[in-house]
Amino acid sequence: MKNSLLTLFLFSCTFIYSQTLTFDEVSKAEKKKEIKSKFSEYKAENGEVFKVGESITIGSPSSNSENYQFIIETDGWTSSQRAGLGARDYNAEIIKFKITGTKRAGYEVMAVCKTKGGVFRYWINIESAIKNGEIITSQLSRAEAITKLKEAKDLLDLEMMTQEEYDKLKKELEPIIRGKN
């Protein structure tokens, strides 16, 4: 009996923690209590799934300065600052996710990640970092999709690509370009 209760307890704890949180759930929440507090996966607006234990590749800062706008480096107690150029191209391992924000401003998912030195942590605002190119994802951005389609058009004009290949690629990229992915 004790073994079956222990097994049931461990299974339920694992099930509760291993849930996926989505962008829609966060954006529609009116109270922080409506958002799951324990989750190990986050599905972003663009469809990219981030998991605890996996890595996020840091891209280039979105502003003209040498600091990232949506990646914060903190020691966890007293100081925090925007991450500098030293973070570029670093594969930061996700330790956990945190929900930040207010009812008025809205809620956001932050990925808490390991830094190069190990003492500090990166807090990455996932949605804003994706939209501004501060983290690299496997999903094409709208600008990347347009560039890819223009390149394909040039190849079609040079007769290096068939009309069928071009039409197929255009059909794949259309939802991304029109913002319907």
Render pLDDT for 90-149 as a digit per residue (tens, 0 to 9). 999 999 999 999 989 999 999 999 988 878 999 999 999 998 889 988 887 787 889 999
Q: How far is 108 from 73, CA to CA, in rounded Å?
A: 17
Total H helices, total E strands in the chain:
5, 10
Q: With 80 as the cut, is the pLDDT of residue 34 above it?
A: yes
Q: How far is 18 from 40, CA to CA, in rounded Å?
A: 5
pLDDT of the residue at 116: 84
pLDDT of the residue at 77: 77
Q: With 60 as the cut, is the pLDDT of residue 165 above it?
A: yes
148, containing H or E segment: helix 142-157
Segment 146-161 shows an average pLDDT of 93
Antiparallel, parallel or unpaired: β 20-22 and 41-43 = parallel
pLDDT of the residue at 138: 82
pLDDT of the residue at 15: 45
pLDDT of the residue at 10: 44
Question: 108: which 2 tokens?
Answer: 């956001």
Q: How far is 35 from 155, CA to CA, in rounded Å?
A: 47
- DSSP codes of every residue in 56-97: EEE---SSSSSEEEEEEEE-SSS-EEEEEGGGTT-EEEEEEE
Q: Does residue 40 or residue 4 have the better pLDDT?
A: 40
Burial class (CB in 10 A: 0-12, 13-18, 19+), 116: exposed
Q: With 90 as the cut, is the pLDDT of residue 85 above it?
A: no
Q: Which of 27-31, 77-81, 142-146 has the highest mean pLDDT?
A: 27-31
Q: With 50 as the cut, is the pLDDT of residue 84 above it?
A: yes
